[in-house]
Chains A and B, each alone.
Chain A
């Protein structure tokens, strides 16, 4: 496969590992912000190849994981309304709410459909004019523009039975919260590839300049990630903190301006609650008043639910990089992918799921 195979080359990977070992002379903690990176790192057994001085910790970049229980409860409450079809990406289905999950509600008769793209939900609404469809909008800046595009289309064609419950989040406030936290000291960021495709590198320039933390935007194949780690370790060795783009085939410094302007036309930023972080100012996206007919928040009366995090679950600390899955007393015991207690075990991009499936993978 073009643009994939060449970044899985074993010889290059081995040489990069050697380069990392040669350049690493101190204890270094690197955070991979993005859940897709977490999975790629563990699936390919990369931690086993690195010097023991390097610790990789996972960040808040799994959208399903940072969606707080209260929002899951609200989505479940919507699924109880007569005549509604809930359309959602698959991961969200199994995330436990305070008392139940969308999957359990579906087995009890709620009409919950899995879609691959926001357009699938649009067509679902078109094909079911007598029903009302609510799409659960979850995701960061990579996903939000795609939902914005569909909302614009809905307004254009005058589709009346489609709305979005926006739980979208934007990444920069969470990054800034991490670098100002006294609880975790991060020496370098493996920055998310596809969020950066949209937002460019502006926020990382601030992190590098104001907090002296090197940032490298990384692709998702093993060679991409190893090269990123090499660049970070070398910057740290030289005492530098600058922004580099390793994933140049997909990321430019300015990002995707069209996607951003579409997102900004439909959504406005709002304060938002994150699992693990609590309320972060200006970190969420809600629909602008111009798009009120598409806003499930305005359209439906969602009854308040008294939400509670699952007892014993440390997903919140894991999402902030303070703890790792093996630190959790539930991990691999009460909490497994078949019976997840916390969101990080549910999502295919969740840190706990990645550790569960792949940790201990050795390259032979």
Chain B
């Protein structure tokens, strides 16, 4: 059987906005398919990284990687770096996956940037505990901002506009709402992906409910100096403004982060 899409469900980000949760919860559904872990060619079974790392391997490689062994299952690729693909890449994505269901979880760009920098600090410090590392305004911090690509990941409004041009019915979720009520968000996801909730048996529903409640991939809360936080607030300010203008969503996380910072 020839498949319509290489990937049937695409999670495009945002990085640090519960995409691992999304992937875990979705892969517990019997109607979905998760590709095998080809680390380090892929990142675990979640991120195929076709357009950034693996494009040179060609579309057939991608199709084979994502092809489900059981017919009729919906294949998942949740790669947060897809958020900032160029218009041309998204056009190619549409050609490869014309009927894919696309999901984009939006998070306050400031809070997202702080979380992204903490994730990169986990890697740079070889998993140091929270109280052992704090970030000051210096070249290391600035380099980490670059490496974490906070401007690309944070440009949600521009990313959303590009993706909507090809996938006008893309599902947008607000991280803050998802955090508060993951199960409600998850049911939106299922319905968007054409996956059944009612028809599932009790055990499957229980597993899904349990997974939807999991808190996945929290980073140690490394301290950032006031200079770092104000720098990030300024760096993300135009992106936050643009996102609110684009979606009408007012984010609260970032303001809460800045509360009481000298």
Q: Please say whether chains A and B are actual partners in one complex.
A: no
